[in-house]
Structure 1
Amino acid sequence: MSRKQTLPPNPARLIEGLRDTGYDFNTALADIVDNSVDAGATKIDIRINMDPDGDILVSVADDGCGMDEQALLNGMTYGAQGLVDPKRLGKFGLGLKTASTAFCRRLSVITRSSGENSLVKATWDLDHVVNASEWELLLDVPIEFEEDLLNEVAPSSSGTLVMWDKVDRMMKNYSEPGGKHARNALDRVVTGFRDHAAMVYQRFLNVTDERSRNIKIILNGQTVAPWDPFCEDEGDTELVAEKKLEAELPDGSPVEFSIRAFVLPRREYFSSQEAAKRARLTNNMQGIYIYRENRLIHPADWLGMFTKEPHLSLLRVEFSFTHESDEAFQVDIKKSRILLNEELYNWVLNEFLPAPRNAANERYRRGQRKKVSDEAKDAHEGSNRSISSKEQDLRNAEVTVVDSAAGDVEVKNKSGTVRLKLKVSESTAPRQVCVQPADSIDDGILWAPAIIDGHHAVRVNTGHPYYHKVYVPNLASDVTIQGMDSLLWALVEAELGTINEATKNHFEELRFEVSRLLRKLVEDLPEPDLED
């Protein structure tokens, strides 16, 4: 016969253990802001300050609906009872407590509901719970400082103030707790959260965005401006794919979600330098941005489909769904991750993303080719000086130009005389040119012999993947460039010195095959980031 045994958790061990649920500071503080949004707030005032002793105080005040004492007690309960509105950003009744105590040891909530004049206050003090070994919530009378903070945002109306005190996990310990280094570190924390809030609540902060109601967030006295990762206000931003689809809940019923792919302009095509800077055109900002109820819950990630590479840095994908799809996408406790079932994952990877990836890749390559071409103009100067000083001593053949326009030349070497077609050109460079970068070469080969101003030279294809992935990362290293250029020039000189009627087709095939093999060999090398 089975028996039942109630086993209540140890308060001290559990409340300490719940501090390690994996929050980072931005995610944790945003969880508090979510509660303000859910409460219907139009104004949210966040303050992150440090006193001269290095003690940090974090507060979030709003003019939302507030709570009476019973609602406050429920809200401070771990695993609070579910609320009526399923659209709420808060989901599991844990966020307020676990997000707060991940960084502080004392969490206080001061609130006033509509129609009430008095404030109520409740506090979870981890040290008290540990010492008492009981789930004892402290009910206090708010102090004047707390009343003033709330009344600045919600004077004589409903509202809520959340306070983080005994903040022990926000920053590392400094030898001078309230000194310059600690304050600089705090400034970085504040700036980081400003950027995070601008991105996460963009649809709420943007007064022209009709997908959500408008709110105002103030951080340390400054209004947070919205940040649009898709740069839809830029004329050259391109919406390359858009779909509205259905996912399936565990019970088989359908729910709708939407997915859109944007290719951003290259930096030089933004409306201004400031706009390009604001767009954060860095490699780590590419990916899928996931929105739940118009709130960003997971930014800039390809969900394991492929790694981030520079050639996709202009591609950003918007994935939006409502609370109705929570079970379909298995939203986690921090509302920061979703899981796609195998069918949907494969559809996104194999059917939706290929066209946007190609569009982003083409726009990126177009800019990269120009940048590579510009960089390559001066990158081979060292090679030209070095090779030209030795060219006469190293010549294995004499080349006579028969028809420069047609590229007809006559090569005389130890094997005899042979007629060839080579690129014949004149240079405007101030010195002899033995290595000449070219945007492309016939058949896509990496290098080809040429005659420039009557000198033996090699043309190097800057459009070949080998140049892009091997030359480009080393353009600043004169020794490395000279080494690679010398090898290609030597191959050209060896070809001119041994070629004959019987072998000239073989040399062409050799250059083609080597170029083909090099294209394959460098496929898995990382893409160079020319912004760096």
Structure 2
Amino acid sequence: MVSEWQFEVPTAGSKRLPPDGRYMEALSSQGYGFEVAIADLVDNSIDAGAQNVVIHFLRDGNELVSLVIVDDGKGMDEDELDVAMTIGGRRGYDGKALGMFGTGLKSASLSHANSVTVVSRTKRTRPAGRRWLMEHAKRGFECDIIDPTYAQDFVDFYQGCPILFQGTIVRWDGVKDFPQHGGGGQTDRYLHRTVNKLGLHLGLHLHRFLARDDFHITISVQDVRTGVEYANYGVESLDPFGYPVPGDPTYPSDFTAHIPAVGTVTLNAHVWPPHSSLDEYKAFGAVVEREGFYFYRNDRLVQAGGWNNFRQPEQHLALARVAVSLPNDPDAMVFRLTVKKDGVQASPEFARALETAEDGKGRTFTEYLADAERVYREARKRAGVTRKPALPPGRGIDPQVRHVIEDELPLLAQDEPLQFRWQKLPNDRFFEIDQEARLLLLNQHYRAALLGGRSGSLNDAPMVKSLMYLLMQDAFQRERMGSRLKDNIELWQAVLVAAARAELDRMAD
């Protein structure tokens, strides 16, 4: 028993405990989103001085088989490649590098693929390659050496696209996110959805690089057998502060926050113009989630919105966005970047500094928030619109639709959300209402007609569900339905059943 507290813990030697092979599984289970993982690999290309990055989705007919990322950066020789493929390997990151921890390439890749192959060439060395195969990695960190002939052929294949004299290729095989069966248009739908989301994510988080004349990202879809390129998209910069005219002419303005551990931090505060329909404002999910701080590290956006425990998000601050460049002092611990580079943890010291932050006009940061809220409220008032509160959208409504509803309507936050479910009903009923359970049941018999033969999912038929959500607000908010509302419901039933049956007839022809 310790008789008194000891400030120093005594030791009796040391022992080396290497990680178990299962550490690779833990490393690849950090919750990387697909777009976040790809962005992490593009960061490596930027650090390598690449001017062009091409993201290839490779398909064999209807099947997606691999994903390949090619850049024209400075490349790596064999020794540098070994370091890059080592877990936690340090490549001598300088103060302006986007990489930090030495795990991104491996953890991002193996989160989404069963194997990752890296082939690289410098101006002075022949192509070399390494591969992490998850099964080998789990047996004891065994990294495969790629056959030199294949490495040369691989680089030759991408000669001029974009590799010229040097560059790096990252190849994912066994990609977990790819459709298992490409028939019935599944591959085309997956690519349409994924390429769009990926382009938006890269366009936002790398917008400062993409705005330059000497850096480009291209997403392409190519057939591995024929070489036919199905699609080719250039990723556009999406500046979250790219409005033509501010919502308040006295902004943007720089506020200065004094944080003892890191010194002075500048907060570049903006007020977006109200009712904006620009992609830079609305293309990234719910607007209320995109208000707040936009943290940058070496010009790379690492957090897009959020108040970091300074306050709670609310609709009235939807126009407030603040750009903050993180101080390059990892030992200060005031700002801690996540390994995935998709968020920042700020210490309470940052929130305290915001309370006294001021701009050159003597305005406090709290006054800035009040100005942003005022612009939002005045715009609503000028529009003469007072929208009736609605039940929160719940299970069965597509997240994109849910975000817009939350942005556009005041919600009855204390009420249970309105949910949707497919269920077997009489064929003369398109829907049924369960007021007590806040549930709107849709007739399973007509599901195929609404989906056009596509397979169903939890959030399918977003158009029909959105219209039903809007139509049925009165029915769910009233304890008793009057004769007029009941008559309207019967009218909607008849019209919707007729429309659904017409769709079934079309499918049968």
Which TM-score band (shorter chain)? 0.5 to 0.7
Q: Does 1:8 align with 2:8?
A: no
**Against the structure 1 CA distance between its residues 373 and 96, is the aligned structure 2 distance closer, same or farther, given a 3 Å change threshold?**
closer
Shift of 1:205: 1.0
Is the CA contact (8 Å cut-off) linking 2:130 and 2:143 kept in structure 1? no
Is the CA contact (8 Å cut-off) linking 1:79 and 1:92 kept in structure 2? yes
1:295-314 counterparts in 2 under 5 A?
Answer: 295-314=300-319
Shift of 1:165: 1.1
Shift of 1:347: 2.5
Is the CA contact (8 Å cut-off) linking 1:242 and 1:261 kept in structure 2? yes
* Residues 261-311 of structure 1: CA deviation (Å, up to 9, x unaligned): 1111112xx5x8788766988322212111011100011111133332221
Equivalent residue number for residue 81 of structure 1: 90
Structure with greater helix percent: 1
* Residues 73-118 of structure 1: CA deviation (Å, up to 9, x unaligned): 11111111241523210001111111111101111111111233x2
* Structure 2: distance between partners of 1:33 and 1:347: 34
* Structure 2: distance between partners of 1:299 and 1:275: 12
Equivalent residue number for residue 369 of structure 2: 357
* Structure 1: distance between partners of 2:294 and 2:278: 24
Aligned length: 376
Equivalent residue number for residue 507 of structure 2: none
1:44-123 counterparts in 2 under 5 A?
Answer: 44-52=53-61, 54-116=63-125, 118-123=126-131
Q: CA RMSD in A?
A: 3.5
**Against the structure 1 CA distance between its residues 80 and 23, is the aligned structure 2 distance closer, same or farther, given a 3 Å change threshold?**
same
- SS in structure 2 of the partner of residue 324 of structure 1: coil
**Against the structure 1 CA distance between its residues 49 and 187, is the aligned structure 2 distance closer, same or farther, given a 3 Å change threshold?**
farther
Shift of 1:480: 9.9
* Residues 379-415 of structure 1: CA deviation (Å, up to 9, x unaligned): xxxxxxxxxxxxxxxxxxxxxxxxxxxxxxxxxxxxx
**Against the structure 1 CA distance between its residues 359 and 279, is the aligned structure 2 distance closer, same or farther, given a 3 Å change threshold?**
farther
* Residues 337-393 of structure 1: CA deviation (Å, up to 9, x unaligned): 3333323212325755422221111111112223444769xxxxxxxxxxxxxxxxx
Is the CA contact (8 Å cut-off) linking 2:127 and 2:151 kept in structure 1? no
Equivalent residue number for residue 330 of structure 1: 336
* Residues 135-157 of structure 1: CA deviation (Å, up to 9, x unaligned): 33333233576324532334441
Q: With the length of structure 1 as denominator, give the TM-score of the two structures.
A: 0.63
Among 231, 250, 268, the alignment partner of 2:242 is 231
Flag structure 1 segments of 5+ consecutive residues without an equivalent.
Answer: 209-213, 377-467, 484-532
Is the CA contact (8 Å cut-off) linking 1:258 and 1:321 kept in structure 2? no
What is the one-letter code of the residue matched to 1:190?
Answer: V
**Against the structure 1 CA distance between its residues 188 and 160, is the aligned structure 2 distance closer, same or farther, given a 3 Å change threshold?**
same
**Against the structure 1 CA distance between its residues 371 and 149, is the aligned structure 2 distance closer, same or farther, given a 3 Å change threshold?**
farther
Flag structure 2 segments of 5+ consecutive residues without an equivalent.
Answer: 1-10, 221-231, 358-363, 389-409, 416-468, 480-509
What is the one-letter code of the residue matched to 1:359?
Answer: D
**Against the structure 1 CA distance between its residues 201 and 20, is the aligned structure 2 distance closer, same or farther, given a 3 Å change threshold?**
same
* Residues 166-225 of structure 1: CA deviation (Å, up to 9, x unaligned): 112x25x65x344413431232122111101111111111138xxxxx411112222111
Shift of 1:42: 1.0
Q: Does 1:346 align with 2:352?
A: yes
Identity, % of aligned pairs? Answer: 27
Equivalent residue number for residue 138 of structure 1: 145
**Against the structure 1 CA distance between its residues 347 and 247, is the aligned structure 2 distance closer, same or farther, given a 3 Å change threshold?**
closer
* Structure 2: distance between partners of 1:356 and 1:3: 57
What is the one-letter code of the residue matched to 1:207?
Answer: R
Q: Does 1:369 align with 2:381?
A: yes
**Against the structure 1 CA distance between its residues 4 and 321, is the aligned structure 2 distance closer, same or farther, given a 3 Å change threshold?**
closer
- SS in structure 2 of the partner of residue 160 of structure 1: strand
Is the CA contact (8 Å cut-off) linking 1:51 and 1:178 kept in structure 2? no
1:462-473 counterparts in 2 under 5 A?
Answer: none
Shift of 1:2: 3.1
Structure label with greater radius of gyration: 1
Give the stretch that moved more between structures: 311-320 or 153-162. Answer: 153-162
Equivalent residue number for residue 263 of structure 1: 271
Shift of 1:66: 0.6
Q: Does 1:242 align with 2:254?
A: yes
* Structure 2: distance between partners of 1:366 and 1:325: 42
* Structure 2: distance between partners of 1:311 and 1:49: 45
Is the CA contact (8 Å cut-off) linking 1:286 and 1:312 kept in structure 2? yes
Give the stretch that moved more between structures: 37-46 or 321-330. Answer: 321-330
1:482-497 counterparts in 2 under 5 A?
Answer: none
* Structure 2: distance between partners of 1:362 and 1:356: 10
Shift of 1:50: 3.8
Is the CA contact (8 Å cut-off) linking 1:281 and 1:313 kept in structure 2? no
Q: Does 1:193 align with 2:202?
A: no
* Residues 39-60 of structure 1: CA deviation (Å, up to 9, x unaligned): 1111111123443463442211
* Structure 1: distance between partners of 2:476 and 2:218: 52
**Against the structure 1 CA distance between its residues 134 and 26, is the aligned structure 2 distance closer, same or farther, given a 3 Å change threshold?**
closer
Give the stretch that moved more between structures: 151-160 or 325-334. Answer: 325-334
Is the CA contact (8 Å cut-off) linking 2:246 and 2:270 kept in structure 1? no
Shift of 1:317: 1.1
**Against the structure 1 CA distance between its residues 155 and 231, is the aligned structure 2 distance closer, same or farther, given a 3 Å change threshold?**
closer
Shift of 1:27: 1.3
**Against the structure 1 CA distance between its residues 359 and 35, is the aligned structure 2 distance closer, same or farther, given a 3 Å change threshold?**
same
* Structure 2: distance between partners of 1:76 and 1:277: 38
Is the CA contact (8 Å cut-off) linking 1:240 and 1:356 kept in structure 2? no
**Against the structure 1 CA distance between its residues 101 and 275, is the aligned structure 2 distance closer, same or farther, given a 3 Å change threshold?**
closer
What is the one-letter code of the residue matched to 1:368?
Answer: R
